[in-house]
Amino acid sequence: MTQFGEWHSAGEGITRKIFNPADSMMSMMISFKAGSLGTAHSHPHEQITFVFSGRLTLSLDEAVHEIGPGEQIVVPGNVVHSVVALEDSIVLEVFTPLREDLLKTIADY
């Protein structure tokens, strides 16, 4: 199993590292290779996606947003969302409350 802060595969062209969580909030850094796809999904957690580098399109329900360095988008809970990396990209995602589904993939948890 993966450790906190350790890069691991999260799909074709996607790697991520999950950081130690706070009591009710957590974050992870994600690296997308150009052309990689984050499949459509939803979860009850609120999410902020902040782009450090690269460009992505983020689909929220029917709306499509292109975001780049220094920009962020808020994903409300239970909204179907997906991502397409237009370029190699690095993003930080913050969730509240804790995403137990992600934390269960970490050996330290």
108 — pLDDT class (breaks 50, 70, 90): confident
Q: Which amino acid is at 24?
A: S
pLDDT at residue 62 greater than cutoff 90: no
Question: What is the reported pTM?
Answer: 0.93
Cα–Cα distance measured from residue 8 to residue 12, given in angstroms and rounded to the nearest whole number = 11
- Pairwise CA distance, residues 21 & 80, whole Å: 24
Residue percentage of the chain with pLDDT more than 90: 94
What is the distance between the terminal CA atoms of the chain, rounded to a whole angstrom? Answer: 10
Q: Would you kindly state where each structural domain of the chain is located, as residue ranges? A: 8-103
109 pLDDT more than 90: no
Give me the CATH code for the 8-103 domain, please.
Answer: 2.60.120.10
pLDDT band at 107 (very low <50, low <70, confident <90, very high): confident
